[in-house]
Structure 1
């Protein structure tokens, strides 16, 4: 079967030219084409553009002008795409917020970005209702709305005429630093048309072998993340139909691929492993021959997992290295098989390594990865912005090396960053939450290798006087952390020590923490 699948796929991956018509054009030219399918309900391109125009005209009626902000605390659904597209054609910033954040974290982002409009799903409203009424003038709930909030249904009852004035808006994603406080990646706006942003995406998809013509893209990751949201939105502009799941369930994902003849999807290595772990009879009962491209990023992929996925799906894996700040490079299956472990071979004028001496690192030497990206600033943090820049290049802190052929290899995913299941966890933020508990005198948080999650969060704790290591304390610490920050950031393991390993300068020795975690 594998040989036949690969041969058929090679025929499909020779497109004569990739069309990127844009959602707005498709809404007029082909309004009945399916745009988004969720739980059996189909929204056509005509219906989607109608709702997008309603939102755009509503924003204008409220007095929003270029550069204003719309924030969304949203589950996977059509509303994410409606709001994003409306902001894109209205010269507004759209800020998607991680739905797993705790209430104080959501409140911080909403206030920091100075949102004029906030839209939340009713299932998530308890995180933010009662926290930001003094800061956000227009507050909307998808579902049953509490007092002083509007319902999304009534909010969008407006003219669906094409807006008289259209200009290019932008996503403003929030990304953390090692200090734990996230910052918005804020890009300057121009008076360009919304369609002007489509050409780079067309070139990218054509380069990675996405065939021309209608496709079917499976969304199985949270769209508030930059990559799943942006990739799916770009393919929507290309005329592909999005099949949206609320989250990742391995068997549901595999059956959706088979039943709906899915052509593309975006996953993280944890997803690959969960698919591989399905029973053989389930895997064998599903036809995956329709898949042209599986994008993956977010964490280093264990070589054995990647090889097994390639053996199963064929040469369809496209890995890329990127961050909220920008794209670094892309790696095809063929390149990875020839250079195992690489994340691709970027052009020398777009990616450089900076060594510890501050100079450009030579081939084979380690260095911080700097790359060229469209201009941006970290909202309200000029020092962080300046620290990320080196001439025309910027960095998100990853460390790597080039081999003699120009292929890039990642050595570390930022200095202290933990990548668990494709999600960033910053130790300083978890440490800050734990230090607020009276039983914690000192703490250090690290990531430890995990076969399923890539890394799991481990806390090394020195207890305060009067507290003892027992299961009751571990339970209370876990509950305490959940109340302060998102549950996915909480430690999965606690190690209690008498003497906490800090250097003479007072810095945490993470190497010693790792030795403790590994039983050395």
Structure 2
């Protein structure tokens, strides 16, 4: 099912409510407006398998674009709205977008895109070089589409080289109103989402989980409550006001909720909650235990990736007897493999996590070599995203690392190589290594170790210069919070940076 199903049954039911402004989009409106946009995109020449890019803050129109794509056999590429113009240009060009819908709130960035996209629409105001979204919709047809082949998302996740990689699944071989789409089939069922679900989404809509779970809510006919941006008190107020039944957060949000004064946190009625889901980053054991103590055994965790090559899940009661685990298999069969030999390792032994599926379900767009690198050499239907972990004797999975050097800060993946590359040719930098170090609130924070170039003075002025250099070129959340200077950085004779030694040094301080 899809919004059109529910528009026929419950036209005035809210499909989406903005938590801050109260702005509401009914199922009738979501169905009609996504239909109008679908007609507009078809008239612009987009056909099955083409891509529409979305660069937006959290606003209702994001789901009009989402459903226009999914009911037209298109791919939607939602782009991180905090990226620089250069970073966004790369993604929009790489995905081959033939249309882009952008929020006027991001006008300063999207006006500077260096990419040829023939069809551009501006939402919520004017953007130079973009047509007005509302005018385009008003002129479009509301006639039923002759066919509605199911579309999908084509989202980007940075690779270890720092260049973002587009994760492209095959289009589902179904119509948009037919069952069988992955996310409602798996996650909607697991978390018992039905017409009565009221789902609070506090995270940016460009991330995979918020985007997809919002789509699940509309597939089952529930109501999506979307926050403009997360704040702890605002989340509790939204839960109380809208009688939220389900929500999904990252551990950083848990930390901020728990840090509220007890009288503030306990003053809100959160008794409507039936399921509090978390994923995206490892959750400290003490934090999760406190969440369960507060809310009861309704805290659910899953482990997955944007690639959706496999997944595990664990509920509160299981977790309390297996603290630190991310659960048992939900999608695919997990295998722990020795990276050197390719052989499966024994119970409790750490290795690379592969998931076995009947058929391969994704590829990296424009990167067949990267795609092949995810396959097990002897089992092509086993794939990995590079995470490390182990299985216990009962089949519970535990993570030990999230890819080789990846930093997870506030639930967001940050790849050090991208940051390091910025400084390779900087006159003041002889060598640099970027690592993640523990941070009580964010999980990890970005720290840079710098070997200054000969004759360069290592002082606060240099740190400020390097910080400014990064802030002009990459998203601000990727910029190192700290710069530490060393006469020499620890590289092996083959040139490999020994980052473990830097982490130990930092912790030792």
What corresponds to 1:342 in structure 2?
325
What secondary structure does 2:508 align onto? Answer: coil
Matches within 5 A, 1:200-279: 200-205=182-187, 207-210=189-192, 212-279=194-261
In structure 2, what is the Cα distance between the partners aligned to 1:119 and 1:294? 32
Q: Paired residue for 1:34? A: 14
Q: Which runs of 5+ in 1 are unaligned?
A: 1-20
Residues 137, 237 of structure 1: alpha-carbon distance in 2 compared, 3 angstrom cutoff: same
CA 519–199 in structure 1, closer or farther in 2 if over 3 Å, else same: closer
Tell whether 2:372 aligns with 1:386. Answer: yes
From the superposition, tell whether residues 89 and 252 of structure 1 become closer, same or farther in structure 2 (CA, over 3 Å).
Answer: same
User: Whole-Å Cα distance in 2 between the matches of residues 242 and 487 of structure 1?
Assistant: 29
- Once the two structures are superposed, what CA deviation does each residue of 1:428-476 show, in whole Å capped at 9, x if it has no partner? 0011113343211100011111111111111000111332222222222
1:501 aligns with 2:490: yes
> Which residue of structure 2 aligns with residue 9 of structure 1?
none
TM-score, normalised relative to structure 1: 0.93
Matches within 5 A, 1:30-429: 30-38=10-18, 39-132=21-114, 135-157=116-138, 158-189=140-171, 191-198=173-180, 200-205=182-187, 207-210=189-192, 212-326=194-308, 327-346=310-329, 350-356=333-339, 357-372=341-356, 375-390=361-376, 391-429=380-418
- Classify the secondary structure of the residue corresponding to 1:343: coil
Q: Distance in 2 between matches of 1:419 and 1:272?
A: 15
Alpha-carbon distance change, 190 to 243 in structure 1, aligned in 2, over 3 angstroms: closer
SS at match of 1:195: coil
What is the CA distance between 1:149 and its match in structure 2?
A: 1.5
Cα 1:56/1:106, change in 2 over 3 Å: same
- Sort the Cα spacing of 1:349 and 1:299 in 2 relative to 1 into closer, same or farther, 3 A: closer
SS in 2 for 1:111: helix
Rounded Cα–Cα distance in structure 2 between residues aligned with 1:398 and 1:287: 38
Q: Distance in 2 between matches of 1:201 and 1:379?
A: 21
TM-score normalised per structure 2: 0.95
Give the Å deviation of 1:22. Answer: 2.6
Deviation at 1:347, TM superposition (A): 6.6
* In 2, Cα distance between equivalents of 1:492 and 1:481: 11
Secondary structure (helix, strand or coil) at the match of 2:76 reads strand
SS of the residue corresponding to residue 354 of structure 2 reads strand
Aligned residues: 499
Shift of 1:306: 0.2
SS at match of 2:326: strand
d(CA) in 2 for partners of 1:463 and 1:164? 64
Higher relative contact order (CA closer than 8 Å, sequence separation 6+): 1
Q: Could you tell me how far 1:379 is from its partner in structure 2?
A: 0.7
Where does the alignment leave 5 or more consecutive residues of structure 2 unmatched?
A: none
Contact 2:353 2:386 survives alignment (8 Å): yes
